[in-house]
Amino acid sequence: MDDRQDSGPPAAHGADPVDDRAAGPASADAEAAGAPRPIGSVLVANRGEIARRVFRSCRDLGIATVAVYADPDARAAHVRAADAAVRLPGDAPADTYLRGDLIVAAALAAGADAVHPGYGFLSESAPFARAVEAAGLVWIGPPAAAVEAMGSKTRAKELMAAAGVPVFGALDPAEVTAADLPLLVKAAAGGGGRGMRVVRELAALDAELAAAAAEAASAFADGEVFLEPYAEGARHVEVQVLADAHGTVWVLGERDCSLQRRHQKVIEETPAPGLPGAVRATLHEAAARAARSIGYRGAGTVEFLVARDGRPYFLEMNTRLQVEHPVTECVTGLDLVAWQLKIAEGAALPPRPPAIRGHAVEARLYAEDPARDWQPQAGPVHRFDVPGVDVEFGPLPGRESGLRLDPGVAPGDVVGVRYDPMLAKVVAWAPTRAEALRRLAHALARTRLHGPATNRDLLVRALRHPEFAAARLDTGFLQRHAAQLGIGPPAAAPPAPTGPGGVAVTDASGPEAAGERLAALAAALADAAGRTARGPVPVRIGGWRNLPSQPQLKRFRAEPGGRTHEIRYRLGRGGELTAAGFEDTALVSADPDRVVLDVAGVRRTFDVAAYAERVFVDSPFVCTALTALPRFTEPGERAAPGSLRAPMPGTVIRIGELAPGDRVERGQPLLWLEAMKMEHVIAAPAAGTLTDLTAEVGRQVELGAVLAVVKEETGP
């Protein structure tokens, strides 16, 4: 396909404004909001990347900034970026960022004029919006009534149906049949994939309804769920709207957000590639109609599923700024946050929005391991460098292309398990889609992020996948291509062979594993160079011996993915390298922070950085995170056979109806952990007997903590 057709003239994208002045006079809320009220200081009721993003626009407009922070965020990047900061005592979101009364008090104490909610937390809470305004502060968002109207997905669908917006009809669980499958269970007050389940067998419906209700109650304090058809193979397409208090509604194009994991977006782009013009026009008109029907004001997004037959269905309206708003800013040149602030001050939008220019693609960089069922990761960030970045947290005015970074962390920050695992958003903008994809993949592949394991490699593979390049997109893309993209959990396999001390060795074949092994060799040689340099007399690596030496042995585990690599090597008198499995590789030079290898006649340079047992090997060809493994396992680190360890730090939120002595089946859920806004099931690894259950609801557990023990059944 011709990528330029997807970034053509404005009329092709329906970018013309929808002006609803003719629909009647503005509401009383809109008239009140239209009165000019200059803002001098803004408190952002949020954290991380979005707080820093809002601060950027405030600075550009000459507005002072106030941050709030929970105790784990006391030294976080968003706190350092603000002019002032107010502590919210505690560490759990329910005690801090979800306490509207504390946030309003913080705004008043800091002398702020207004509150910007960001996204997540209280951004779509009508009671919070009213509390802000009741305190005499400006609410930088839509009217509380509009937030309330869209707050319940069930109520929102009723309103949209009445306004003529196409919607899925809700189903009665007692009346569905096999002909209705597959089905989707959704939380009425949900978001971010929480409280959502796909049901493919009627026998599983009751259990999935109960599980979704329990998750929704835990996440949103509202256990209401509903049932609707699941559109297999559909695309997730959303429309950005911007409305003022004077009767103007802009439609600023659409975004394709089909690449998702656990119903949460991973890659987003605009314009939506390959979308027929008639479908695009229908989406834009439906979004404008939705905004008008609730008297909307500010930035908002109307989300749709587009079925395989091209018919769109309303999903929900996000009455706030979206995570993926930067792609719209890139192709329009607008600063949406600045316009949120101006509209809150009473400003009017111009008659027409800017034209759409080029194509923009955003990738969300998460601290998680896709190869291990998306397990969240935690720990310190030592280095974070994305090459070629043109701007942070802002549009790219006056340019035809560029690379934008919206980081939520900075070197020195610690990624915890209390909050969303997103570390940053990387956005590429270019005249065509193909150019934008190539630039974004190139930047991500060379990103140096020394810290927790991330989904960086998955993003690069997805962006370079031929199906993605051809714009054959739907919400099942990642699942359908899981094996090629490195998504786990992998299929069951026999136990890996072990080396001395019981350390598993799982060397694998394939280009990715080969790259990891080369990085592990560079790490081993850099470590040897460091130990030599620290000796009493500095000598060249591989110093002279009068007898042949035994091979040196180092073991590393690659993160993410978990493959372990055993490196055995020997260095001759002149530094000649002999290494098992590297017959075509010669050592050019080795220093503690840089190793140069000749691989089959091609010289490759590897930069090596070690932080305790964590080692990061970066080059233009491979960027690999490794954990150095001990040669021998300490006796105290060995757990009883059948022990189920916590795969990440988290909180035990539910335990199955089980007790020690009960029989369990392989794959049977035993308990649920919550970490970084996601639930993780801890299941029985084999059929057998539950002999111990140490987990307790509400208990915070560390990585590797023993939660339960299952004694596996043995044959006769």
Which residue is it, tokens 């209705």?
A: 180
Question: What per-residue confidence (pLDDT) applies to 677?
Answer: 61
Least confident of 208-217, 342-351, 541-550, 615-624: 541-550
For the chain, domain boundaries: 3-149+234-364+465-483, 170-229, 504-629, 638-712
Nearest CA among 366, 441, 364 for reference residue 405? 364
CATH 3.30.700 fits 504-629, yes or no: yes
Distance CA 3, CA 360 (A): 12
Rounded to an integer, what is the distance from CA 61 to the centroid of its chain?
29
Residue 190: pLDDT band (50, 70, 90) is low
Question: What per-residue confidence (pLDDT) applies to 649?
Answer: 74
- Top mean pLDDT of 70-84, 179-193, 554-568 is at 70-84
Q: Which CATH class is domain 170-229?
A: alpha beta
- Would you say residue 467 has pLDDT above 90? yes
Question: What per-residue confidence (pLDDT) applies to 503?
Answer: 38
Ramachandran region of residue 564, left (φ > 0), alpha (ψ -120 to 50) or beta? beta
Q: Which CATH class is domain 3-149+234-364+465-483?
A: alpha beta
Across 310-334, average pLDDT:
95
Percent helix, percent strand, percent coil in the chain, to nearest 5: 30, 30, 40
Between 361 and 20, the higher pLDDT residue? 361
Question: What per-residue confidence (pLDDT) applies to 34?
Answer: 47
Distance CA 475, CA 457 (A): 20
- Would you say residue 498 has pLDDT above 50? no
Between 683 and 609, the higher pLDDT residue? 609
% residues pLDDT > 70 (the chain): 86
Give the single-character DSSP code of 3.
G
Question: What per-residue confidence (pLDDT) applies to 686?
Answer: 85
Nearest CA among 422, 300, 601, 461 for reference residue 46? 422
- Top mean pLDDT of 143-152, 153-162, 433-442 is at 433-442
- Would you say residue 211 has pLDDT above 50? yes
Residue 269: strand pairing partners:
256, 361
Question: What per-residue confidence (pLDDT) applies to 221?
Answer: 67
Across 617-622, average pLDDT:
88
CB contact set of 362 (below 8 Å; sequence gap of 6+): 267, 268, 269, 324, 326, 327, 425, 426, 427
Collapsed DSSP state (helix, strand, coil) of residue 469: helix
Residue 676: pLDDT band (50, 70, 90) is low
- Would you say residue 89 has pLDDT above 90? yes
Residue 214: pLDDT band (50, 70, 90) is confident
Across 473-477, average pLDDT:
95
β-bridge pairing 225-229 and 235-243: unpaired
- Kindly provide the residue ranges of all beta strands, DSSP E only, lying in 431-481, ordered along the sequence: 448-450
Question: How do residues 639-658 score in pLDDT, each as one tens digit?
Answer: 567 788 887 777 888 888 88
Distance CA 261, CA 263 (A): 5
CB contact set of 367 (below 8 Å; sequence gap of 6+): 376, 377, 378, 415, 421, 422, 423, 451, 452, 453, 454, 676
3-state secondary structure 164-182: CCCECCCECCCCCCHHHCC
Least confident of 120-129, 171-180, 258-267: 171-180
Angle between helical axes of 325-332 and 336-344 (0-180°, round to 10): 90
Are domains 170-229 and 504-629 of this chain identical in fold?
no
Residue 449: pLDDT band (50, 70, 90) is very high
Across 179-198, average pLDDT:
78
Q: Which CATH class is domain 638-712?
A: mainly beta
Collapsed DSSP state (helix, strand, coil) of residue 437: helix
Mean pLDDT across the chain, nearest whole number? 86
State the distance between the two ends of the chain, measured CA to CA, in whole angstroms: 61
At 421, the amino acid letter reads: P
β-bridge pairing 84-88 and 138-139: unpaired
Collapsed DSSP state (helix, strand, coil) of residue 696: coil
Distance CA 489, CA 562 (A): 11
- Would you say residue 9 has pLDDT above 80? no
Distance CA 57, CA 44 (A): 12
Question: What per-residue confidence (pLDDT) applies to 632?
Answer: 58
Task: Quote the tokens at residue 150.
Answer: 């869209």
Question: How do residues 266-318 score in pLDDT, each as one tens digit?
Answer: 999 999 999 999 999 999 999 999 999 999 999 999 999 999 989 999 999 99
Distance CA 142, CA 254 (A): 20
Question: How do residues 527-536 score in pLDDT, each as one tens digit?
Answer: 999 987 654 4
Which H helix or E strand runs over 530?
helix 511-533
CB contact set of 170 (below 8 Å; sequence gap of 6+): 154, 157, 226, 227, 228
